[in-house]
């Protein structure tokens, strides 16, 4: 197929939108990619080949879906906007290895779908141009469900991508960094200019590649206890660790008790959350967890 025939060109995208009288819904954060080279560049970072399966979230009119269909064995795409279903049926009619599901990814049983749609032991990758307003809930759902996924390669807001891939002692480093890097190895692999979208978004985008870890990099006694403590340490970034933890444990431990506990594990209470490594957060959370038993 010549490049001009691909969905991801300004001319073809305009034709499709006009044919179906499609209007963008701001509430769904719809911005369609109109550059095939960018899409192929994204796919080259995913590790997808003809042996692999791909899951897409929010296919839109099928620009990325089409390129995934060319490169992968099978593609399953979740689309929440009912108006796009007949469009996708039309634009992807040449690809018999695409299955579109009309469902909200946040409510979907993705594990069950993987069991039904992909071969056993087949490497499966998630690739998506995620709406900016719902990036974090989608990623955290997909990561916490411990799905048999090799990687997630997502186009998201540049600033959020930088937060997810940040290192300690940087402005971008925070509780979101810890949450993402607990489950994955996170790397910003490319930046995407606003000009390749229709309509153009107000923010810059980046491609973040998240490679699943076989095991978390630290031992955590209880994840449901660990993550709230991490969030508490960043609750007010300018506050010291001791002050943030005092607020978090109000009515359980006073400031002196918290200082004693921090001294026991050799963490200076005057430090700020952004200076702690994941190992230190694990030690901190595990210590408080054991005391709560």
Per-position pLDDT tens, the chain of length 293: 445 589 999 999 999 999 999 887 766 667 889 999 999 999 999 999 999 999 999 999 999 999 999 999 999 999 998 999 999 999 999 999 999 999 999 999 999 999 999 999 999 999 999 888 889 999 999 999 999 999 999 999 999 999 999 999 999 999 999 999 999 999 999 999 999 998 888 888 999 999 999 999 999 999 999 999 999 999 998 999 999 999 999 999 999 999 999 999 999 999 999 999 999 999 999 999 999 88
Does 31 show up as a binding residue in the annotation?
yes
- Is position 104 annotated in a ligand binding site? yes
Q: Beta strands 151-157 and 124-129: pairing type? A: parallel
Residues 6+ apart with CB under 8 A from 226: 220, 281, 282, 285, 286, 289
Q: Residue 39, annotated ligand binder?
A: no
Sheet with 124-129: list strands edge to edge.
98-102, 74-79, 53-57, 124-129, 151-157, 205-212, 184-192
Look at phi and psi of residue 243 and say left if phi exceeds 0, alpha if psi is from -120 to 50, else beta.
alpha
What's 200's DSSP letter?
A: P
Per DSSP, the three-state class of 139 is helix
* Residue 58 marked ligand-binding: yes
Are the C-beta atoms of residues 212 and 149 closer than 8 Å to each other?
yes
Residue pair 105/80 in contact by the 8 Å Cβ criterion = yes
The alpha-carbon radius of gyration of the chain (Å, integer) is: 22
Q: State how far the alpha carbon of 196 is from the alpha carbons of 10, 41, 201, 204, in Å.
A: 9, 13, 10, 11
Is 97 flagged in the annotation as binding?
no
What angle do the packed helices 278-292 and 223-233 form, to 10 degrees? 120
* Adjacent-strand bridge partners of 171: none
> Is the dihedral angle over the CA atoms 249, 254, 255, 256 positive or is it negative?
negative
d(Cα 180, Cα 164) in Å, to the nearest integer?
Answer: 6
Q: How many residues does the chain have?
A: 293
Helix (H) or strand (E) holding 270: none
**Residue 146, number of CB atoms within 10 A of its CB:** 10
Determine the pLDDT at residue 124.
97
User: What local confidence, expressed as pLDDT, does residue 164 receive?
Assistant: 97
47 among annotated binding-site residues: no
Which residue segments constitute the domains of the chain, with CATH numbers given?
A: 3-212 (3.40.50.150), 223-292 (1.10.8.100)
**What is the structure's pLDDT at 26?**
65
Q: What pLDDT, on the 0 to 100 scale, is given for residue 2?
A: 46
CA distance 213 to 180: 11
By C-alpha distance, which of 292, 285, 175 is closest to 220? 285
The predicted model scores a pTM of 0.92
């Amino acid at each position: 197929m010549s490049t001009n025939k691909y969905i991801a060109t300004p001319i073809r995208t305009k034709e499709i939108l006009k044919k179906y009288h499609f209007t963008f819904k701001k509430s769904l954060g719809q911005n369609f990619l109109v550059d095939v080279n960018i899409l192929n560049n994204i796919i080259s970072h995913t590790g997808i080949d003809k042996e692999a399966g791909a899951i897409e979230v929010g296919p839109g009119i099928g620009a990325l879906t089409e390129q995934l269909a060319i490169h992968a064995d099978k593609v399953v795409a979740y689309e929440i906007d009912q108006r796009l279903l007949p469009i996708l049926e039309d634009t992807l009619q040449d690809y018999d290895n695409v299955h579109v599901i009309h469902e909200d990814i946040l409510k979907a049983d993705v594990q069950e779908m993987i069991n039904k749609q992909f071969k056993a032991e087949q490497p499966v990758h998630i690739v998506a141009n995620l709406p900016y307003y719902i990036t974090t809930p989608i990623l955290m759902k997909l990561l916490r469900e411990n799905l048999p996924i090799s990687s997630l390669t997502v186009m998201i807001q540049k600033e959020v991508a930088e937060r997810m891939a940040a290192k300690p002692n940087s402005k971008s480093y925070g509780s979101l960094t810890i949450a993402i890097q607990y489950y994955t190895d996170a790397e910003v692999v490319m930046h995407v200019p606003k000009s390749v979208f229709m309509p153009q978004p107000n923010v810059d985008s980046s491609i973040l590649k998240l490679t699943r870890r076989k095991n978390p990099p630290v031992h955590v006694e209880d994840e449901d206890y660990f993550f709230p403590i991490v969030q508490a340490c960043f609750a007010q970034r300018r506050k010291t660790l001791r002050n943030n933890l005092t607020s978090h444990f109000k009515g359980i431990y006073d400031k002196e008790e918290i200082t004693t506990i921090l001294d026991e594990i050799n963490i200076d209470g005057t430090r700020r959350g952004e200076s702690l490594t994941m190992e230190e957060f694990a030690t901190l959370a595990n210590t408080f967890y054991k005391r709560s038993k």
